[in-house]
Structure 1
Amino acid sequence: MLLLSRPDEIIEERIQTKAFQEYSPAHMDTVSVVAALNSDLCVSGGKDKTVVAYNWKTGNVVKRFKGHEHEITKVACIPKSSQFFSASRDRMVMMWDLHGSSQPRQQLCGHAMVVTGLAVSPDSSQLCTGSRDNTLLLWDVVTGQSVERASVSRNVVTHLCWVPREPYILQTSEDKTLRLWDSRGLQVAHMFPAKQHIQTYCEVSVDGHKCISCSNGFGGEGCEATLWDLRQTRNRICEYKGHFQTVASCVFLPRALALMPLIATSSHDCKVKIWNQDTGACLFTLSLDGSGPLTSLAVGDAISLLCASFNRGIHLLRMDHSQGLELQEVAAF
């Protein structure tokens, strides 16, 4: 509430409300994953078996892609391109082009169970896929052919990401470990110390020096994110504790406006938290009440985050540094 004094000395009350835009939903069911294609567009997938390209600045669906027979589990964009991949519970990986046909450009079949990891190499020439079948596959993006295969017992893959400017792939697993793979021969180059809980997601910093992983859990047990050093020591650097249910996603935030390095996490407890990367202090918590579990988090631009949820589609969140750090929900679609 804001009190304003007019010349006639009558006190006027005005309610300050934050602008919020409810756009047409991108999906008609739970959204499993969202990723930024560029500074205007995102691609997402969910239980409706559909991959959607969406302009989150205008609220318009750009294109819908249908071809999978089951829920979409992952999407991965080719950098500086209109092309991207989707993975599904149908065990298939499909390649799409925003400016091409609505039919997939490629269909990659090689896993025996649901595909749960996708990572595109920095030079866009290779794709790494991982599955609940304990297997990683390396594909040639141009030919669509599998070029390497590796399996590790009980290594149920939960997520994959490629280290910038390096031949290494980071992978989280249900066996509570974080593995670093060398794509040259697809062999494990390093295993980080096992955590107490399943590792659900991982991301590498832009400079390739650090990575974060996050844990499942309940009632505050587990439910944390962990910062690791990817360089020589490869030690655990910091932990971020404060969520009460599984942390499903974690991202490094752009350094454009903040005075310190930040990370963000989203959780099944309906909360998005922003953390001081160096100290582990929680700087802000946004509760997205009624959203259900938050499933995926992606950086839209220097001040925007995209957050997928079970019940309310995709949330557009904006960081504001004008009066200290805040995170606001500005739209949903």
Structure 2
Amino acid sequence: MGKWASKHKKGISKKAKAYSAPENNDGQTKPLPTKQFSPNPVKFHHSDAVTCVDICREVCVSGGNDGTIILQNIRKDKLVNRFSGHNREVTKVCLHRGTGNCVSASRDKSIKVWRDSKEQCRLTGHELSVTGVAFDSALCRIWSGSRDNTVRLWDVESSNCVAISKLSRNLVTDLCYSPEMNLLAQTSEDQTLKLWDPRNVECTFTFPTQNQILTSCSVSDSICVTTNNGFSGQGCEICIWDLRQRRLLHSLKEHTETVSGCKFIGRHLVSCSHDATVKLWSQNSDSKWSVCSNLHPSAGALSSLSVADDNTILICSYDKGVLLINMSHNTLTF
């Protein structure tokens, strides 16, 4: 797990809470009476903390601090497969939407492609932990980013690195490929969001430096969301960027600790944080974003999230494994 996450492993003793928050006339949210929930984590058979997750329909993949990768059918609560392919923490996992094959990255400096429950290839060359990974729709090209300040392009069939770019202080924290925009979005510990030409991994644009480390990114159409490191209410932001106009649209400040993930879900955004909360965001008629639902699952610091469809979310917890969350009528529930 990242260095900004290790100190947040301890569980939080507050009871699980959920509320749906309509807006007042001034645009501020007003919590409804709290409801109590007792979430049951999905059984992912890891022997240590779950660090990353991805989901497609009913099948999900998770990576753990124990170096294992687990494929599971969450609706049937059935273990599909278990891979022991890395000898250090798995940092990222990605499912291929068409085939169910997956890619994993690790602190052991390698990337692996898994097809039909077997290791197809192992990509090596990074000098430090691989902290970002993405691929095209055919799973022929893979892009990776690392703490070694490089972004690389790999040919899966030959297992060769075909392009590499190195930028000073560019300690990669996440990568996201957008086929619609034909670009790579990348976040870094140098506090910037960068855009890359995926054909030759050439950096084409760097957004203004933020006040905190950027921890993750996600792209939908021409909009990118990034999340920020922080503590005690300082930093802890979600930034929404227009990739065409190359400008910051909104900065959302509701979390009180590092925001570890944020994804699009329908017309909403869902985020998770080391403050142990999951928040659902919506836009009002003035295009202002606010929290419309909030969960406190009493599961400790939350490390990652993935969205299956318009109402199913998986959240990783360092303490409680993986939580299955539903969205219905602008409200999050277990």
TM, length-normalised to structure 1:
0.86
- Amino acid corresponding to residue 332 of structure 2 in structure 1: L
1:78 corresponds to 2:96? yes
> Which of residues 261, 274, 278 in structure 2 aligns to 1:272?
278
- In the alignment of these two chains, the number of paired residues is 297
Q: CA deviation at 1:26?
A: 3.1
- Amino acid corresponding to residue 251 of structure 2 in structure 1: E
Unaligned runs of 5+ in 2: 1-34
Residue 302 of structure 1 aligns with which residue?
310
CA distance in 1, matches of 2:42, 2:258: 28
**Superposed CA offset, 1:4-44 (max 9, x none):** xxxxxxxxxxxx987865553432211100001x2010100
Residue 86 of structure 2 aligns with which residue?
68
Q: Which has the larger radius of gyration?
A: 1
- Amino acid corresponding to residue 274 of structure 1 in structure 2: L
> Which of residues 307, 320, 327 in structure 2 aligns to 1:319?
327
Q: Percent identity?
A: 37
Unaligned runs of 5+ in 1: 1-15, 255-260
Residue 55 of structure 1 aligns with which residue?
73
Find the residue that maps to 2:246 and give its secondary structure.
coil
**Partners of 2:264 and 2:270 within 8 A in 1:** yes
- Amino acid corresponding to residue 87 of structure 2 in structure 1: E
> Which of residues 21, 27, 42 in structure 1 aligns to 2:46?
27
**Partners of 1:247 and 1:267 within 8 A in 2:** yes
Residue 249 of structure 1 aligns with which residue?
261
Find the residue that maps to 1:301 and give its secondary structure.
coil
Find the residue that maps to 2:292 and give its secondary structure.
strand
1:185 corresponds to 2:185? no
Find the residue that maps to 1:214 and give its secondary structure.
strand
Moved over 4 A (4+): 16-23
Q: CA deviation at 1:192?
A: 1.0
**Superposed CA offset, 1:58-98 (max 9, x none):** 1111100112110100112223112111111110111112x
> Which of residues 58, 74, 90 in structure 2 aligns to 1:40?
58
Q: CA deviation at 1:123?
A: 4.2
Greater RCO, CA 8 A, separation 6+: 2
Name the stretch that deviates more: 111-120 or 163-172: 163-172
Residue 130 of structure 1 aligns with which residue?
145
CA distance in 2, matches of 1:49, 1:123: 26
1:217 corresponds to 2:225? no
1:146 corresponds to 2:161? yes
**Partners of 2:136 and 2:142 within 8 A in 1:** yes
Residue 4 of structure 1 aligns with which residue?
none
Cα distance change, pair 20–125 in 1 and its aligned pair in 2 (3 A): same
Residue 110 of structure 1 aligns with which residue?
125
CA distance in 2, matches of 1:186, 1:23: 37
Name the stretch that deviates more: 183-192 or 145-154: 183-192
**Partners of 1:169 and 1:180 within 8 A in 2:** yes
CA distance in 1, matches of 2:103, 2:138: 15
Q: CA deviation at 1:284?
A: 1.1
**Partners of 2:41 and 2:323 within 8 A in 1:** no
CA distance in 2, matches of 1:190, 1:79: 29
Find the residue that maps to 1:281 and give its secondary structure.
strand
TM, length-normalised to structure 2:
0.85
**Partners of 2:265 and 2:309 within 8 A in 1:** no
Residue 293 of structure 2 aligns with which residue?
284
> Which of residues 86, 97, 105 in structure 2 aligns to 1:87?
105
Find the residue that maps to 2:127 and give its secondary structure.
coil
Q: C-alpha root-mean-square deviation of aligned residues, in Å?
A: 1.6
Matching of residues 166-185 of structure 1 within 5 Å: 166-185=181-200
